[in-house]
Amino acid sequence: MLSLVTGLKFGLDNITPFAWVMIGLLALLSTMSWATLLMKWLLLSRTDRANRRFLRLFHESPHPLDLYLKKEQTDLSPLYFIYHSASRDLAFHLVGEEEPGRSFSARLQGAGRISPSQMSTVQNAMERALGSAALKLELRLSLVGTVIAVAPLIGILGTVVGLLDVFSALDVQNKAALVPGVSSALITTIVALLVVLPSLIGYNILVNRIRTILVRMDNFASELSGVFDRQFVDHRKVEESLPSLHSLGAPAMPMSSATTASRNPARA
């Protein structure tokens, strides 16, 4: 450890201006990456708490549309966003209006059931809401992926420039001139690794958390679709009687050439 610290101090004391520029750029990328990771971590933590609160309220509600009628909002909950989008579309098919008014509850009690085709539009609303929520969860996370991809290239660039300085010093056989080039080559590589490795670990952790939330969102959408399907969809088959042949009338048969000649002897 002492030799490592001594080596780093020696390298920093003999670093070139170009290497300082590369280190400054890496420091900027590292700051952007860690700021994004921290903000995303806090957002996902709040999202988990909001989802747990909404699920508790949903499972305790006596009616599938109870939270929608009460306008019980759970901020930062993607599950509530999916539920509200599906409930709004379902309410439109049941009573003809999306937002609940004063007479909404009474009209809902007297409303009938919806058809399977109308239920498919409710499912489409849930799928759109799920996709929008997924995009919000993954927002700005691509910046961290960009830093992970770019930082090693910047480190390699600093290494190449430092080695080029070493090769140019070999022509004059000046050993003292080799020190800055070698130091720059090593320091920029070390800094690039220090930027990439923690960012990569944090990125993978956040991606796993986002995937977990997406799976829970998908499971909730399936659960909500099943609840709505059992409560509000009419699956009875409507038997339609076929019309009789008498009501269809007789088809117009084409006349042959012989029949046409017998009916028009003058033309024949």
87 or 14: which leads in pLDDT: 87
Task: Express each pLDDT in 9-59 by its tens digit.
Answer: 656 666 777 778 888 888 898 899 899 999 999 999 999 999 999 999 999
User: Measuring CA to CA, which residue among 178, 161, 159, 160 is closest to residue 169?
Assistant: 178
Exposed/middle/buried for 109, CB within 10 Å: 0-12, 13-18, 19+? exposed
Q: How many helices (H) and strands (E) does the chain have?
A: 10, 0
**Token reading at 191:** 């800094």
> pTM, whole model, 2 decimals?
0.72
Give the number of other Cβ atoms within 10 Å of residue 137's Cβ.
20
Q: What is the dihedral of CA 41, 47, 48, 49, to 10 degrees?
A: 110
For 132-156, write each residue's pLDDT tens digit. Answer: 998 888 888 888 888 888 888 888 7
pLDDT confidence bin for 245, thresholds 50/70/90: very low
Let me know if 236 is exposed, middle or buried by CB neighbors in 10 A (0-12, 13-18, 19+): exposed
What is the structure's pLDDT at 248? 45
* pLDDT greater at residue 104 or residue 113: 113
Helix axes 141-170, 17-60, angle to 10 degrees: 160
Strands (E), 197-255: none
Q: Quick one: residue 173, left, alpha or beta (phi over 0 = left, psi -120 to 50 = alpha)?
A: left
- In terms of C-beta density within 10 A (0-12 exposed, 13-18 middle, 19 or more buried), how is residue 7 classed? middle
Q: How far apart are CA 219 and CA 121, in angstroms?
A: 19
Mean pLDDT computed over every residue of the chain: 78
